Structure 1
């Protein structure tokens, strides 16, 4: 197989990964709190051909003396883009929107083996579910049942039978009971994302830091900062459909061009083999 076919076929495999990423962005364009990803490419290892045996003839040359031949491109990684999405009013007291694009909620997830891990999300549609073993207490949970994390890692709990729910712009949570008394239910524990590239998607619009050693590099704990939370609203996806469609068409054309290069390489080899 000649070099042109190798380079084109390698690039096609990586372009497919970009198409998958764009498709995922488009399919989640209406998902609340979703953050799009961009694909970054880099060159594969190049080979250097010694085409100049007399270096004295290359005095003053700014580029390398020899010819460098690449082997296609590869996906260096996907970057999570944290731009703020549009905030829309829902009127639902348990819908929360984060007004700082670098902030995320913390949720506690219980694995099948009973272990618990912390995940992060921008999707702020929460619910109240009974605390296991204590039906008189309700806790705030995400749509998939993961518990919302409050200060000092504790869950956000309120007495059953509350009349209304109020969450301040600083993340403080209070419940009003039928007799008019107010119960302090705790404080939302938010995190500020410092290095989004360290976040790994785990599904359900949640993210996780895979390595504990990278936790301090990826995020910082935030509690009690004013002007961060808006109650009765949700943040829409930050996917720009027109931009993604443009990227989709461009990537498809690149894929077609590389596929054509493979076909042409095959035809050229067929012509060479037919020479007698």
Structure 2
């Protein structure tokens, strides 16, 4: 077995160096791949039991490890001109799905809207997943992909938001004469109007009438001027103390025509000496507007900026972590799957739990160092040649042994 073992050992060594060179080739060809993590071939010996006076050569086993996790394996972040290019600064991974809907982890954040669906996809065709904020704060599953939906930019275009709340601030002058009766289009001390939006984003004008009924007491009423005669939608009483500060929490509540239930808060109003200065402090809702820009914050919130100046939070992008990222299983498309050695996936939002932050307009570069790869290539070539010499020498010795019979 001695000489045959030498031949097997030489073949094993050549295979190991060939595997190492294959890993080096992968690294070199992916030195410009966004988010690529360098692989390395690691060897472990496989020995055969030997007896006294006889030694049998063993072999070598090759294991490929990828330098995925840890601060020293973070690729350089390079700035780009695309608002949908994303990079992770930290330990987290983007959650993506392939064309078949299978979830994966990746660091490749070169996302662009898909021309057919509007979903954000990267260069490998992987779709970025996130949580929709359409119904408020999402329910995050800490150890699964439940509740995730594709981050779709097309769904944000021409979005109209109906009005639901608003607030007025300013002053009702204390010097105006008292008016008898409830405020109306024909009986008021002061008047103003606000514009709110129905379900289709159409502007709806609402007239506001204020009537001073006594010292420190006013009434306010909201009217729909589109009807003949104007229709009263809501009325309330405002009461002010001796310092002109509102003592209650008055609101005008009504349902917007072809819209949603709406509440206009009048609490910030005051009644002091001065002019009538009632103004809009803030009314939600907007008319249909086109998206002019996309903002993705460090915490993963995706905002759409519209041409009317409004901003809408549409999605929140989570990040995933595993206990041992270097033991993740690499797949085609520069993605990773969890394995028994890597541990289960843990999902959460950026800036929390050590997952890192999301950087908009940046991409993580490959962590491959070309100089190191060329050095490994030379070492592999040298090792392969040395192992071939072992095989060649063993062959010559075996030939000498066979020739003894001649």
Q: TM-score range by the shorter chain?
A: 0.7 to 0.9
Name the residue aligned to 2:123.
143
Name the residue aligned to 2:224.
none
**What is the Cα deviation at residue 272 of structure 1?**
2.3
The separation in 2 between residues aligned to 1:109 and 1:155, in whole angstroms, is: 11
Distance 1:215 1:43, change over 3 A: closer
After superposition, residues 164-203 of structure 1 pair within 5 angstroms as 164-203=293-332
- The alignment partner of 1:264 has SS state of helix
**What is the Cα deviation at residue 238 of structure 1?**
0.2
**What is the Cα deviation at residue 91 of structure 1?**
2.2
Alignment match of 2:88 (pick from 87, 98, 101): 98
User: Greater CA deviation, 250-259 or 219-228?
Assistant: 219-228
Alignment match of 1:154 (pick from 149, 155, 162): 149
Name the residue aligned to 1:204.
333
- The alignment partner of 1:42 has SS state of strand
> Is contact 1:199–1:207 with CA below 8 Å preserved after alignment?
yes
Alignment match of 2:347 (pick from 197, 216, 221): 221
Unaligned runs of 5+ in 1: 52-66, 133-137
Name the residue aligned to 1:7.
9
> Is contact 2:14–2:384 with CA below 8 Å preserved after alignment?
yes
Deviations 1:90-136 (A, max 9, x none): 12111111111x2111102232xxxx21111111110113675xxxx
More helix by percentage? 1
Distance 1:44 1:243, change over 3 A: same
Q: How many residues align?
A: 247
- The alignment partner of 1:2 has SS state of helix
CA RMSD of aligned residues (A): 2.1
Name the residue aligned to 1:79.
65
The separation in 1 between residues aligned to 2:342 and 2:307, in whole angstroms, is: 43
The separation in 2 between residues aligned to 1:9 and 1:224, in whole angstroms, is: 49
- The alignment partner of 2:113 has SS state of strand
Deviations 1:220-249 (A, max 9, x none): 212142661111111110001111111111
The separation in 2 between residues aligned to 1:216 and 1:268, in whole angstroms, is: 47
The separation in 1 between residues aligned to 2:309 and 2:152, in whole angstroms, is: 18
**What is the Cα deviation at residue 70 of structure 1?**
3.9
After superposition, residues 11-160 of structure 1 pair within 5 angstroms as 11-51=13-53, 69-75=56-62, 77-82=63-68, 83-100=73-90, 102-111=91-100, 116-129=101-114, 132=117, 138-151=118-131, 152-158=147-153, 159-160=156-157
Name the residue aligned to 1:232.
361
Bigger Cα Rg: 2
Unaligned runs of 5+ in 2: 132-146, 158-289
